[in-house]
Structure 1
Amino acid sequence: MNIATSPDSVLGFALEAMERTPDPRLRTVMNALTRHLHAFVQEVKLTEGEFEQALEFIVAIGQATGEKKNEVVLAADILGISTVVALQNNQDPHGESPAALLGPFWRANSPACALGDSIARSGTPGLPLAVAGTVRDATGQPVAGATVDVWQASPIGLYENQDPAQEDMNLRGRFTTDAEGRFHFHSVRPAGYPVPTDGPCGVLLRAQQRHPNRPAHLHFMVSKPGHKVLITQVFADDDQNLESDPTFGVTRRLIGCFALAPDGKSATLQYDFQLEPGEMKFPRPPIP
Structure 2
Amino acid sequence: MATNLDADTLTSEVLKSFSETPNGRLQQILESLTTHLHAFVQDITPSIEEWEQAIDFLTRTGNTCTDVRQEFILLSDVLGVSMLLETINGQETPDATDSTVLGPFHMVESPTRDLGDDISPESDGPRCIVSGRIVSVEGTPVPNASIDIWQADTKGFYDVQQPGIQSVGNGRALLRSDAEGRFHFRSVVPMYYPIPTDGPVGELLEATKRHPYRPAHIHFLVTAPGYRELTTHIFIGGSDYIDSDAVFAVKGSLVKDFDEDQDPEAAAHYGVQSPFRHGHFDIVLHPET
- Cα 1:39–1:95, aligned 2, differ >3 Å: closer, same or farther? farther
After TM superposition, the structure 1 = structure 2 runs for residues 1-288 of structure 1, keeping only pairs within 5 Å, are: 2-91=2-91, 94=94, 98-122=98-122, 124-163=123-162, 164-261=164-261, 265-278=275-288
Measured against aligned partners, the alpha-carbon deviations of 1:238-266 in whole angstroms (never above 9, x if no partner) come to: 01211211111111111112213359952
Measured against aligned partners, the alpha-carbon deviations of 1:66-103 in whole angstroms (never above 9, x if no partner) come to: 13311111011101111111111122665896100101
Q: For structure 1, list consecutive stretches of 5 or more residues without a partner in the other structure.
A: 280-288
Q: In structure 1, what is the Cα distance between the partners aligned to 2:144 and 2:96? A: 26
Measured against aligned partners, the alpha-carbon deviations of 1:29-55 in whole angstroms (never above 9, x if no partner) come to: 111111000001111111111111110
Letter in 1 for 2:117: D
Query: Scaled by the length of structure 2, what TM-score is found?
Result: 0.91
Tell me the residue number matched to 2:268: none
Aligned length: 278
Q: Decide whether the 8 Å contact of 1:87 with 1:96 is kept in 2.
A: no
What root-mean-square deviation, in Å, do the aligned CA atoms of Structure 1 and Structure 2 show?
A: 1.9
- Cα 1:97–1:146, aligned 2, differ >3 Å: closer, same or farther? closer
- Cα 1:186–1:157, aligned 2, differ >3 Å: closer, same or farther? same
**Identical aligned residues as a percent:** 37
Deviates most, 188-197 or 249-258: 249-258
Query: Scaled by the length of structure 1, what TM-score is found?
Result: 0.92
SS at match of 1:191: coil
Deviates most, 96-105 or 256-265: 256-265
Q: Decide whether the 8 Å contact of 2:96 with 2:137 is kept in 1.
A: no
Q: Decide whether the 8 Å contact of 2:221 with 2:230 is kept in 1.
A: yes
Q: Decide whether the 8 Å contact of 1:91 with 1:97 is kept in 2.
A: no
Q: In structure 1, what is the Cα distance between the partners aligned to 2:96 and 2:31? A: 30
The alpha carbon displacement at 1:105 in A equals: 0.6
The alpha carbon displacement at 1:156 in A equals: 0.5
Q: Decide whether the 8 Å contact of 2:216 with 2:240 is kept in 1.
A: no
Letter in 2 for 1:275: L
Q: Decide whether the 8 Å contact of 2:67 with 2:107 is kept in 1.
A: no
Measured against aligned partners, the alpha-carbon deviations of 1:116-139 in whole angstroms (never above 9, x if no partner) come to: 1110122x1112110000001122
Measured against aligned partners, the alpha-carbon deviations of 1:194-250 in whole angstroms (never above 9, x if no partner) come to: 000000000000000000000000000111111111111111110121121111111
- Cα 1:126–1:208, aligned 2, differ >3 Å: closer, same or farther? same
Please list every run of at least 4 consecutive aligned residues from structure 1 whose deviation after the TM superposition is greater than 6 angstroms. Answer: none
Q: In structure 2, what is the Cα distance between the partners aligned to 1:8 and 1:149? A: 49
The alpha carbon displacement at 1:2 in A equals: 4.6
Q: For structure 2, list consecutive stretches of 5 or more residues without a partner in the other structure.
A: 264-273
